[in-house]
Structure 1
Amino acid sequence: MRGAWAPPANQLETPTVSTKRISIDPVTRIEGHLRIDCDIRDGKVVDAWSSGQMWRGIETILSGRDPRDAWLYTQRICGVCTTVHAICSVRAVENALGLEIPLNAQLLRNLIMAAHGIHDHIVHFYQLSALDWVDVVSALDADPQATATLAQGLSNWPNNSAAHFAEVQGRVRKFVAGGQLGIFAHGYWGHPAMKLPPAANLMAVAHYLEALDYQRRANQIVAILGGKTPHIQNLAVGGVANAINPDEQSALNMERLAYVRTLMDELGGFVREVYLPDVTAIAGLYAAWLPYGEGVTHYLSAPDFPRDAKGTDFGMPGGYIPNADLARFHPLTHFGDPYFEQNVKESIKHSWYQGDWTRSPYEEDTVPHYTDFNQEGAYSWVKSPSFAGLPAQVGPLANVLAMVAAGHEGTKRYLDLALARIAAVTGSAVPVTALHSTLGRHAARCVRTQVLYDMLLENYEALIANIAGGDYTSFNPPIFPKGEQMGFGFHEAPRGILSHWIVIENGKIKNYQAVVPSTWNAGPRNQDDARGPYEAALIGNPVLDEERPLEVLRTVHSFDPCLACAIHLHDNERQRVIRVSTV
């Protein structure tokens, strides 16, 4: 499976006196507070520790509440990953009750999830990670005409003109002349690891600014269908709260749906003509980075975009791939799949909680026990999830590999296109195994965005057809029996597989746990002291300047960390846990 692009062996070397420890705290351009510690020797990372440095409070708050209200609370786990927690929460309760939802509700949820995912992926590449690869100051040296020639060779995007690039360059020049770089301040400009030519830097900066507008259009779709964003308002256990009537002004009607289609068309142009060309061009120009950042190669993803009321037929497949071996892919086939339910565990051996256990989320508790940073003991508020006893990498790379293994035609088509475009820049073939890398995660996220756009179109057409057939139903009322019910809901969120686990007793929440993508990826060493995905992916990473560890940020940012999601605790005693000082 490794081929020509195999990364360096992921082994911890014996430390010597030349080993230097660096600490990045906080890692910026993410949601939440993440600390990364690395041991550097001979210009490479030889060991790493990932530490969640913040508290949140959701799961304990839910104890004793009505399960129908949980989705409103869980959305507040994060200010970015809002809709994904809502959808997982209602799916968990519906799974516990064995409740099916109307097809219209399923399709509306799918539309919201697809638009949210596209929005998130665009924001991640341009606003959260592109500046690890793009030197903004270098763009001032670019020739706008040369930039236009480069961009027009990549796509037919209307704004790829010399006049537009000159206008953007002028705006950036004004920032610099004024003594500040505004939103581009505090970057590692001029770092020796920055390799793009000035024209490519100017093209990327221009598209960075355009991405701010096009991600907004994706959010408009979410707001129209979900009532608002962030924190949508239309979900319900049993379906959605959208009243559907093509002729009623106060309902979801054809006028609103027609506007959604207009936004979809505009969004699709940016995804095809800007995002895909930019990611593949940058990956090709940084081909020397393709061997770095592999880490954990056990991959886990969820099937999603259900086409039926039961959640047994999915537009995007998912499942488990052990040790990067696509031939051993094990699909997840339905919302209550016991293979998933029985294999997910979380460990607190290296986390700041009381005890030392590895348990199913159904059986977990969350009792804090802070002991300061101890790399041999506890050093993070994040737990350590495992699947079948092993760490697993989650996210767009896991999702794309699972869809390829499942034979998903759209994914294979877009992946072939992306690899061909990268190869056109490098001048040599790029195998699928190159995806096991820092840049591979970016390429996979771009491929997934193309598939998400296909899902947006498919579910829109299905919804229109269903309404045209006279079906306006959007909600089935839930019934809570006496006794105990257990269930989980999963969703392939932008950062990877998200699952919520609930135990209901006599109509009230007895226990609630969320196992989120950044918990899978940012977790510390597990019960067997195996590194989590962030930690493992950093081993062998080059570091040219220990005072400016840009390369560490490149690999960590490629996962799209969200520490607000990874940590969700609550102190019932309301004691002060930590004080943050600006002095």
Structure 2
Amino acid sequence: MSRRVVVDPITRIEGHLRIEAETAADGRITGAWSSGTMVRGIELILRGRDPREAWAFAQRICGVCTLVHGMASIRAVEDALQWRIPANANLIRNLMVAAQHVHDHVMHFYHLHALDWVDVVSALKADPKATSALAQSISGWPKSSPGYFADTQKKLRQFVEQGQLGIFAGGFWGHPEYKLPPEANLMAVAHYLEALAWQREVVKLQAIFGGKNPHPNFLVGGAASPISAAPGSGGAAATTLNVVTLGELRQIIQSMRTFVDQVYLPDTLAIAGFYKDWFARGEGLGNFLTVGDFPSAGGSDPSSWLIPSGVILGRDLQAIEPVDLRDPQQVQEFVAHSWYEYAGGKAQGLHPHAGETKLAYTGPKPPYEQLDVEGGYSWLKSPRWRGKAVEVGPLARLVMLYAKGHEPTRALADQALRTLELPLAAIFSTLGRTAARAIESKVFADQMTGWLDQLIANIKAGELSVHNDALWEPSRWPREAKGVGFMEAPRGALCHYVVIKDGLIDNYQAVVPSTWNAGPRDATGQPGAYEAALMDRHHLHDPKQPLEIQRTVHSFDPCIACAVHVLDPQGEELTRIRVR
């Protein structure tokens, strides 16, 4: 006899996500449905506005992914108007995006995903001396003495004894699917706390380049970071890139590299070693898409990008399909099982340049018992590449870089697989997705040093330009133009589409990672990446504690806020959902 398990909301993510899973009598998941439970209206807000200011609104799609939406937005306008940027601006953008990846991945692993594998309360049983020995056996990280872990354990004990778990509240502590020994749990809890302090320092890179974080400043046609040859001790030079801020940037990048090398990557492999069975479940689709990112100084030649674009179908690493985001036959969004409607009918797919954002909610008023999965059940659309559902994100990038022969990625992936004694096929999994995030963090952090060196070399050579103002005046624009700004955000392929008419935005559509991955079934019944992954060799030990669902969903690092939300024009509250 089957039963429906409802997890609403999925916690430790950005935004609101509901997962419903159907299980057989033995606990095996036989069906899964992903529902974004808030609706996005940023596209509607942007219509009629100056495209040069679109980035400031697009950033507000999400409070976490502010940088990447701003970046995709300015790239969309630049693409539409064929607006080229200086080499220094390209380097600055690469540094900002790479820093976002590293920061976001570390935060996701420790603060959103690690607790799916780490039993916090179990850490109270750990021997600090044995924990120290474990930590020192996997890394040279200096914070690894018995006294250090004893102090961490004391802090944790105070939380538990006072009944104030705070940030650790709400976990399924004691669940039989937790397999780490107490010492590994204590080590992970200590690094969880360290990562909180670490992230406060590394986000300063965005503030140096963008003036603030979150929501750093951008500029269509280049970067909002003027360069000064002055020392920067005060005056106007204090708000520019100069010898002082460049030195700070180098220290920040080194901090990133050290933490990734000595904490994040070793912890990932150490924890994964206790959960090897999770390298054999949770893949789902087997289809992967990347749009490419981190262009070289020229920027226009895709072969020069660090991350190539392409599609891999059915795990076939020997056959990479080219991607053209402008082709109406390649990229379409469907709403057959979404709470939207298209003028031509719900069965059709629309290319984002012709995209529509028209609400058509016909479901029950929340809260409700379960979704109407035969009809609409999500505020997310269903993007497809040539009609096929694909996965985007760190695993897609790892697979693409590996297939393309990127040596650093191959070396790191092969070493990780050897350490864990696993075959290459193990990467196509829940924990493969998690490991891919750590591997690419090292690749990007290492690459940042080279980009900073090149920026400094340009400045020393007298090249201070960061902005091209040749097309700043709308009088120089064509009457109508279309563009797509794309990038590899931490969670995957991000595309902003803009149509400009008579100097103003006529249409704007954002196709984000969490619509590619978390979207519902399409008109042909194809599940999205979340749904397919949950139906891939999953069993629930206890439906009332669906830890297994959380593990796989969290491995995608959901950001439903990127995919859905809206404010009523009058500012009125439309609905209220109470979580019990």
Q: Tell me if both proteins adopt one fold, taking TM over 0.5 as the criterion.
A: yes
**Residue from 308, 315, 319 that aligns with 2:306:** 315
The match for 1:351 is 338
The match for 1:449 is 441
Please list, as runs of the form range in 1=range in 2, the aligned pairs for 1:145-544 lying within 5 A after superposition: 145-233=129-217, 235-247=218-230, 249=232, 250=237, 251-312=240-301, 313-330=304-321, 337=324, 342-355=329-342, 356=346, 357-372=348-363, 373-423=371-421, 430-477=422-469, 478-479=471-472, 480=474, 481-539=477-535, 540-544=537-541
Give the superposition deviation at 1:570.
Answer: 6.0
Give the superposition deviation at 1:64.
Answer: 0.6
Three-state SS of the structure 2 residue aligned to 1:59 is: helix
Give the superposition deviation at 1:578.
Answer: 2.3
- Asked whether the equivalents of residues 131 and 146 of structure 2 are also in contact (C-alpha less than 8 Å), the reply is yes
**Residue from 118, 125, 140 that aligns with 2:102:** 118
The match for 1:578 is 575
Give the superposition deviation at 1:331.
Answer: 5.0
The match for 1:6 is none
The match for 2:368 is none
Counterparts of 1:364 and 1:265, CA distance in 2: 43
Give the superposition deviation at 1:183.
Answer: 1.2
Give the superposition deviation at 1:118.
Answer: 0.4
Give the superposition deviation at 1:341.
Answer: 6.6
- Asked whether the equivalents of residues 59 and 568 of structure 1 are also in contact (C-alpha less than 8 Å), the reply is no
Three-state SS of the structure 1 residue aligned to 2:306 is: strand
Give the superposition deviation at 1:308.
Answer: 2.1
Instruction: Tell which deviates more after alignment, 495-504 or 307-316.
Output: 307-316
- The residue identity in structure 2 corresponding to 1:129 is H
Instruction: Tell which deviates more after alignment, 535-544 or 476-485.
Output: 476-485
Instruction: Tell which deviates more after alignment, 460-469 or 120-129.
Output: 460-469
Three-state SS of the structure 2 residue aligned to 1:323 is: coil
Counterparts of 1:361 and 1:289, CA distance in 2: 36
Counterparts of 1:65 and 1:273, CA distance in 2: 47
Counterparts of 1:374 and 1:220, CA distance in 2: 46
The match for 2:2 is 19
- Asked whether the equivalents of residues 38 and 566 of structure 2 are also in contact (C-alpha less than 8 Å), the reply is no
Runs of 4+ in structure 1 over 6 Å off: none
Where does the alignment leave 5 or more consecutive residues of structure 1 unmatched? 1-17, 424-429
Counterparts of 2:219 and 2:159, CA distance in 1: 47
Instruction: Tell which deviates more after alignment, 529-538 or 471-480.
Output: 471-480
Could you tell me the percent identity over the aligned residues?
Answer: 50
Give the superposition deviation at 1:248.
Answer: 5.1
Counterparts of 1:384 and 1:570, CA distance in 2: 22
Counterparts of 2:185 and 2:528, CA distance in 1: 33
Gap change, CA 1:570 and 1:64, over 3 Å in 2: farther
The match for 2:367 is none
* TM-score relative to the length of structure 2: 0.93
Counterparts of 1:530 and 1:388, CA distance in 2: 13
- Asked whether the equivalents of residues 434 and 440 of structure 1 are also in contact (C-alpha less than 8 Å), the reply is yes
Three-state SS of the structure 2 residue aligned to 1:140 is: helix
- Asked whether the equivalents of residues 116 and 218 of structure 1 are also in contact (C-alpha less than 8 Å), the reply is no
- Asked whether the equivalents of residues 26 and 35 of structure 1 are also in contact (C-alpha less than 8 Å), the reply is yes
The match for 1:13 is none
- Asked whether the equivalents of residues 123 and 153 of structure 2 are also in contact (C-alpha less than 8 Å), the reply is yes
Three-state SS of the structure 1 residue aligned to 2:432 is: helix
Aligned CA RMSD, in angstroms, stands at 1.6
- Asked whether the equivalents of residues 101 and 239 of structure 1 are also in contact (C-alpha less than 8 Å), the reply is yes
Counterparts of 2:439 and 2:430, CA distance in 1: 15
Matched pairs, number: 555
Counterparts of 1:86 and 1:495, CA distance in 2: 15
- The residue identity in structure 1 corresponding to 2:27 is G
Gap change, CA 1:188 and 1:487, over 3 Å in 2: same
Instruction: Tell which deviates more after alignment, 480-489 or 119-128.
Output: 480-489
- The residue identity in structure 1 corresponding to 2:320 is F
Counterparts of 1:471 and 1:262, CA distance in 2: 23
The match for 1:9 is none
Three-state SS of the structure 2 residue aligned to 1:285 is: coil
Give the superposition deviation at 1:455.
Answer: 2.2
Give the superposition deviation at 1:579.
Answer: 3.0
Counterparts of 1:410 and 1:577, CA distance in 2: 50
Counterparts of 1:241 and 1:110, CA distance in 2: 14
- Asked whether the equivalents of residues 118 and 218 of structure 1 are also in contact (C-alpha less than 8 Å), the reply is no
Counterparts of 1:342 and 1:486, CA distance in 2: 16
Three-state SS of the structure 2 residue aligned to 1:327 is: coil
- The residue identity in structure 1 corresponding to 2:90 is Q
Give the superposition deviation at 1:338.
Answer: 5.5
* TM-score relative to the length of structure 1: 0.93
- Asked whether the equivalents of residues 60 and 570 of structure 1 are also in contact (C-alpha less than 8 Å), the reply is no
Counterparts of 1:435 and 1:341, CA distance in 2: 32
- Asked whether the equivalents of residues 391 and 532 of structure 1 are also in contact (C-alpha less than 8 Å), the reply is yes
- Asked whether the equivalents of residues 231 and 244 of structure 2 are also in contact (C-alpha less than 8 Å), the reply is no
Gap change, CA 1:280 and 1:201, over 3 Å in 2: same
- The residue identity in structure 2 corresponding to 1:46 is T
**Deviations 1:83-104 (CA, angstroms, capped at 9, x unpaired):** 0000000101111111110000
**Residue from 105, 114, 120 that aligns with 1:136:** 120
Give the superposition deviation at 1:294.
Answer: 1.1
Where does the alignment leave 5 or more consecutive residues of structure 2 unmatched? 364-370
Give the superposition deviation at 1:328.
Answer: 0.7
Please list, as runs of the form range in 1=range in 2, the aligned pairs for 1:66-105 lying within 5 A after superposition: 66-105=50-89
Counterparts of 2:579 and 2:404, CA distance in 1: 51
Counterparts of 1:581 and 1:555, CA distance in 2: 25
Instruction: Tell which deviates more after alignment, 179-188 or 19-28.
Output: 179-188
Give the superposition deviation at 1:265.
Answer: 1.1
Three-state SS of the structure 1 residue aligned to 2:132 is: helix
Instruction: Tell which deviates more after alignment, 70-79 or 315-324.
Output: 315-324
**Deviations 1:264-310 (CA, angstroms, capped at 9, x unpaired):** 11221110011111111111111122111011111011221111233
Three-state SS of the structure 2 residue aligned to 1:303 is: strand
